[in-house]
């Protein structure tokens, strides 16, 4: 080809090659299609957006404005991705920032109060632990704290542990905290296991603040937040009737972290509680409460021995009228339960 034609071809192709190179190097802009802007502050997971034109690698996608543990991405057909947000339980305003391919999109989210009480048991749905891993985390902590109390000398027990109900209140409350270095500092090194905390909410960061326990009958109403319906204190009867529900009067339904209750008609109708523990739910742990005007103690007993207790009032069997049954905390009541 003559030199003049080669030069002309080069001049003609140069802009075309540059254009093709620009098209190859330039990535399309991130596109966001919001599916919801207003959510209930219910602790559940919600799909809030569909993302398209994403980078080839997930490391090129950045989302801020909410805890990472509350964000989930799900691949969809045609290169799209669904964005899920687990709502907090406290009403608030959020502004998510999604960045990819050099493009930034923002998504404002409003969390509104959730008045729902699906089981009409007085516990709001936002307080219930919706995810299986959160329910298991609570059980793990509740039994670990109970076990730790049983292994602690009376002189070193937390001063609040004086009877069976105080043990339940203590283990319940501390199970719901964020277990960070500051929390662990109250124990001796190695005294408490390293376990994940629940993620849906942590005590006292809810609309109830420090008032965990319901004290009145009836379904949950938003006005309950403004009166004394929820308090920090609850005796054994209140824990049974307003904060837990009956599973069965048969021990076979019990899991670690469940409770058994008694009513001693002969002793001014006192209520008494124990915590199911052990890998196979074979133990109970409880605080005796004062005995003959003396300070009581923590005890750990095999259920098999309790079934054969010399005093028939303490036998956890359906034929014993003093045995009220196996109970489970309301917050562990699963969404699909009847």
Along the 338 residues of the chain, how does pLDDT read in single tens digits? 554 544 444 444 444 444 444 343 455 688 899 999 999 999 999 999 999 876 655 557 899 999 999 999 999 998 899 999 999 999 999 999 999 878 899 999 999 999 999 999 999 999 999 999 999 999 999 999 999 999 999 999 999 999 999 999 999 999 999 999 999 999 999 999 999 999 999 999 999 999 999 999 999 999 999 999 999 999 999 999 999 999 999 999 999 999 999 999 877 779 999 999 999 999 999 999 988 878 889 999 999 999 999 999 999 999 999 999 999 999 999 986 54
Residues facing residue 94 across a β-bridge: 109
Please tell me the predicted confidence (pLDDT) of residue 295: 86
Please tell me the predicted confidence (pLDDT) of residue 322: 96
With 0.85 as the threshold, say if the pTM is over it: yes
Query: Any idea what DSSP says for residue 63?
Result: E
Q: What is the SS3 assignment for 270?
A: strand
Please tell me the predicted confidence (pLDDT) of residue 338: 42
Assess contact for 303 and 315: CB atoms under 8 A: no
- In sequence order, what are the residues at sequence separation of 6 or more whose Cβ sits closer than 8 angstroms to the Cβ of residue 221? 115
Please tell me the predicted confidence (pLDDT) of residue 294: 82
Q: Which CATH number fits domain 31-112: 3.40.47.10, 2.60.40.10, 3.90.330.10, 3.30.70.330?
A: 2.60.40.10
Residue 155 CB-density burial (10 A; 0-12 exposed, 13-18 middle, 19+ buried): exposed
Please tell me the predicted confidence (pLDDT) of residue 97: 96
147-166 residue pLDDT tens: 999 999 999 999 999 999 99
- Domain boundaries along the sequence of the chain: 31-112, 125-332
Distances (CA, A) of 311 to 237, 276, 303: 22, 20, 14
Please tell me the predicted confidence (pLDDT) of residue 335: 82
Cα dihedral across residues 121, 124, 125, 130: positive or negative? negative
Assess contact for 259 and 276: CB atoms under 8 A: yes
Assess contact for 117 and 100: CB atoms under 8 A: no
């Amino acid at each position: 080809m003559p030199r003049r034609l080669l030069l002309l071809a080069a001049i003609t192709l140069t802009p075309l090659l540059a254009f093709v190179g620009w098209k190859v190097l330039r990535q399309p802009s991130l596109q966001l299609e919001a599916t919801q802007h207003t959510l209930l502050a219910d602790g559940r997971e919600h799909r809030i957006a569909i993302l398209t034109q994403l980078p080839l690698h997930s490391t090129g996608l950045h989302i801020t404005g909410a805890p990472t543990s509350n964000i989930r991405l799900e691949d969809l057909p045609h290169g799209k991705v669904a964005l899920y947000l687990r709502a907090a339980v406290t009403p608030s305003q959020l502004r998510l920032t999604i960045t990819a391919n050099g493009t930034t999109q923002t998504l404002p989210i409003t969390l509104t109060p959730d008045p729902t009480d699906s089981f009409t048991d007085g516990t709001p749905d936002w307080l219930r632990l919706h995810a299986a891993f959160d329910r298991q985390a609570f059980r793990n902590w509740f039994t670990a704290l109970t076990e730790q109390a049983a292994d602690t000398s009376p002189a070193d027990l937390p001063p609040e542990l004086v009877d069976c109900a105080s043990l339940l209140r203590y283990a319940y409350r501390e199970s719901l905290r964020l277990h960070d270095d500051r929390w662990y500092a109250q124990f001796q090194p190695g005294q408490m296991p390293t376990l994940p905390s629940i993620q849906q909410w942590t005590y006292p960061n809810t609309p109830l603040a420090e008032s965990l326990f319901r004290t009145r009958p009836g379904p949950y109403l938003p006005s309950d937040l403004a009166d004394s319906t929820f308090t920090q204190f609850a005796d054994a009867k209140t824990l049974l009737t307003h904060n837990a529900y009956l599973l069965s009067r048969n021990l076979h339904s019990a899991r670690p972290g469940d409770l058994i209750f008694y009513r001693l008609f002969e002793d001014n109708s006192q209520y008494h509680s124990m915590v199911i523990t052990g890998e196979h739910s074979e133990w109970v742990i409880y605080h005796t409460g004062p005995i003959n005007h003396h300070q009581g103690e923590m005890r750990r007993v095999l259920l098999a021995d309790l079934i054969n207790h010399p005093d028939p009032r303490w036998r956890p069997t359906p034929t014993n009228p003093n045995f009220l049954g196996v109970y489970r905390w309301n917050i562990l009541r699963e969404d699909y339960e009847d």
